[in-house]
Amino acid sequence: MPDVKTRVPAVDGWFSTGAAPALLGTRCTACGTYFFPSEHTFCRNPGCAGREFADVELSRRGRIWSFTDNRYQPPAPYVAPDPFVPYTIAAVELATEQLVVLGQMVAGVDTASLRAGQEVELVLGTLYEDDEHEYLVWKWQPVGDAG
Amino acid sequence: MADRDVVILGAGMHPWGKWGKNFVEYGLVAAQAALADAGVTWEDVDYISGADTIRNGYPGFIAGATFAQALGWKGNRVSSCYAACASGAHAIGIARAQILAGLCDVALVVGADTTPKGFFAPVGGERRDDPDWLRFHLLGATNPTYFALYARRRMEAFGATPNDFARVKVKNARHGLQNPNARYRKEVTVDEVLSSPIVADPLHLLEICATSDGAAALVLCSADYALRRGATGVVRIRAVSTVSPTFPNAVIEMPNFATDSGAAAAAPEKTFRDSIAAAAYDEAGIGPEDLSVAEVYDLSSALELDWYENIGLCKAGEAERLLRDGDTTIGGRIPVNPSGGLACFGEAIPAQAIAQVCELTWQIQGRAAGRQVEGARVGLSINQGLFGHGSSVIVSS
């Protein structure tokens, strides 16, 4: 077994993995609507006939719209550690894109410490692991929290 | 009677519970009950409209034919439809359209389900292009996750409290005490609700609807047919709203990871849930002030409060006051969920929207023993199916 596991995204093409990770979406070149996950075929704005899309990184910071947690282990295909550790989920508003996107909060942030309107930043964290890999997913981290 | 009215000739249900039997049996019991209530037989039915279930194999995907075969093939026209939690209303909508088009006189609508224990999980298989599979895999976002996001939003935006949410459960538990079709018939106190485990903060176990087995059925007919039969005290369907959201939908909804972007198009004047009710009111030519009773989809205690506002009983942020004042309790100004709602039933997905209409029918006929809303004349049911299916039915005497 390798000492260091290979870090791989848990899903292809949904986020970048550099020093400043971001969600990857698309933007209609005709009307400017953003899409996450990416849309590549027809613009979903009924007032737009756009069929061309630019790949874009979404804003890395946003503000919490609402939040909750999972006190019990979700069913498969969620891959939970044993024993299960409860975690927090937030819905975050991105101002430029004018959309709300879900994500886990980083480990250790409980709901009592959160409020609507609070600023958060996107980071990468572990979703689950197997013997060789650490599977990554985007998570939200309160701004100003060294994490 | 207006040109676009169809008549509810009969309503029937199989009690909700965890019976462990095949869903077809429940559907048959409900269908036979509705036929008997209507005073017709299966021979009289021209059209059968099934609401599908996706957790019972192939027979569930083609529920209309499954029920037709079980009742005895007789060559009548058939349809099967799936619209998640809105399936029942969509099945009603299909049958109603057949009658209004003059293609048939009598239609039977049936929905039934057998459910697994615990959280709903996506149907089997690894499907990396299915948002419903991905939301569980990447986020562990169960249905209560979304209910809890809405509940917390009420707390953050309007100052709602866990006590308010618990009081919805207490009200509905009391309403359903004597409903013979309800699964849970037990009073609960605010303390009992708040001391049950938190599943998804701020929602407690007793505030999140269970998954149930159950079935509901309706016999619908044309106004002419009802007249020919000399049917009296009939209940009419005034509207069936099965609208989709309008782009850009700014509210995060199951099973999505994100809302639509409002960067290019202005958000619609009404939210999706508001628009479901608005389309129903528009079609019926009435408004919220005309309602005597409502059945709303309390997937969580807190969600019932959202619906008060969506159906226009009060302005945004005023639902808690309506509840506290007793307006939505039986005996109040506009009783909501006299059946006991999902709090007392648990959810049997394809049957639930039909069950809402059964309850409204019995309320208007004055047959809701132990939970009767006095003088009920006009009722509205409302609900929403994931992936964007509206569901609202307005009925009246």
Query: Nearest residue of B to residue A116 by CA position?
Result: B156
The nearest CA of chain B is from the CA of A8 a distance in Å of 13
Q: Burial-class residue B58 by CB neighbours within 10 Å (0-12, 13-18, 19+).
A: exposed
Q: Which of A65, A70, A137 sits opposite B200 (nearest CB)?
A: A70
CA dihedral B339, B345, B349, B354 (to 10 degrees): -20
Q: Burial-class residue B107 by CB neighbours within 10 Å (0-12, 13-18, 19+).
A: buried
Query: Nearest residue of B to residue A137 by CA position?
Result: B138
Residues in CB range of B372: below 8 A, 6 or more apart = B330, B338, B363, B366
The pLDDT, as a whole number, for residue A4 is 86
**A80 and B140: CB-CB below 8 Å?**
yes
Residues 79-108 of A with CB under 8 A from B: 79-80, 87, 89, 91, 96-104
Q: Which of B119, B152, B258 sits opposite A99 (nearest CB)?
A: B258
Whether B1 has a pLDDT exceeding 70, the answer reads no
The average pLDDT across B235-251 equals: 97
Q: Which of B126, B152, B264 sits opposite A66 (nearest CB)?
A: B152
- Dmax of chain B from CA atoms? 58
Whether A147 has a pLDDT exceeding 50, the answer reads no
**B156 and A66: CB-CB below 8 Å?**
yes
The pLDDT, as a whole number, for residue A145 is 60
As given in the structure block, the two tokens for residue A128 are 């689950």
Q: Which of A33, A77, A91 sits opposite B264 (nearest CB)?
A: A33
Degrees to nearest 5, angle at CA B133 with A125 and B50: 160
- CB-CB neighbors (< 8 A) of A136 in chain B: none
Query: Nearest residue of B to residue A92 by CA position?
Result: B258
As given in the structure block, the two tokens for residue B293 are 């009773």
Give the integer Cα–Cα distance in Å for B183 and B372. 18
- CB-CB neighbors (< 8 A) of B137 in chain A: 10-11, 77-79
Give the tens place of pLDDT for each residue, B221-239: 999 999 999 988 889 999 9
Give the integer Cα–Cα distance in Å for B342 and B353. 11
- CB-CB neighbors (< 8 A) of A44 in chain B: 247, 260
Whether A1 has a pLDDT exceeding 70, the answer reads no
Residues 116-155 of B with CB under 8 A from A: 118-119, 121-122, 126, 128, 133-142, 145, 148-153
- CB-CB neighbors (< 8 A) of B157 in chain A: 116
Indicate the SS3 state at residue A91.
strand
**B197 and A71: CB-CB below 8 Å?**
yes
**B260 and A44: CB-CB below 8 Å?**
yes
Helices B301-310 and B143-158, packing angle to 10 deg: 60
A53 contacts chain B (CB < 8 A): no
**A98 and B263: CB-CB below 8 Å?**
yes
Q: Please name which of A92, A100, A118, A14 lies closest in space to residue A57, comparing C-alpha atoms.
A: A14
**A vs B: CB pairs below 8 A:** 142
Residues 216-275 of B with CB under 8 A from A: 247-248, 250-252, 257-265
**B262 and A98: CB-CB below 8 Å?**
yes
Which of B135, B244, B251, B259 best tests the A interface by mutation, with the highest count of A CBs <10 A?
B259
User: How much is the ipTM here?
Assistant: 0.96
The pLDDT, as a whole number, for residue A2 is 54
pLDDT band at residue B3 using 50, 70 and 90 as cut-offs: confident
**A78 and B137: CB-CB below 8 Å?**
yes
Whether B33 has a pLDDT exceeding 50, the answer reads yes
Percent of chain B beyond pLDDT 90?
93
Using an 8 Å Cβ cutoff, are B111 and B354 in contact? yes
Give the tens place of pLDDT for each residue, B100-117: 999 999 999 999 999 987
Whether A146 has a pLDDT exceeding 70, the answer reads no
- CB-CB neighbors (< 8 A) of B153 in chain A: 65-66, 116
- CB-CB neighbors (< 8 A) of B199 in chain A: 71-72
Residues in CB range of B2: below 8 A, 6 or more apart = B238
Q: Which of A37, A89, A98 sits opposite B145 (nearest CB)?
A: A89
Give the integer Cα–Cα distance in Å for B226 and B234. 8
The average pLDDT across B355-361 equals: 98
Residues in CB range of B253: below 8 A, 6 or more apart = B146, B245, B259, B272, B384, B386, B388
As given in the structure block, the two tokens for residue B311 are 């159906």
Mean pLDDT of chain B: 96
Instruction: Determine the straight-line distance between the first and last CA of chain A, rounded to whole angstroms.
Output: 29
Q: Please name which of A78, A73, A72 lies closest in space to residue A127, comparing C-alpha atoms.
A: A78
The nearest CA of chain A is from the CA of B319 a distance in Å of 19
The average pLDDT across B293-317 equals: 98
B201 contacts chain A (CB < 8 A): yes
Give the integer Cα–Cα distance in Å for A112 and B271. 29
Which of B115, B117, B126, B137 best tests the A interface by mutation, with the highest count of A CBs <10 A?
B137
Phi-psi region of B60 (alpha: psi -120 to 50; beta: other; left: phi over 0): alpha
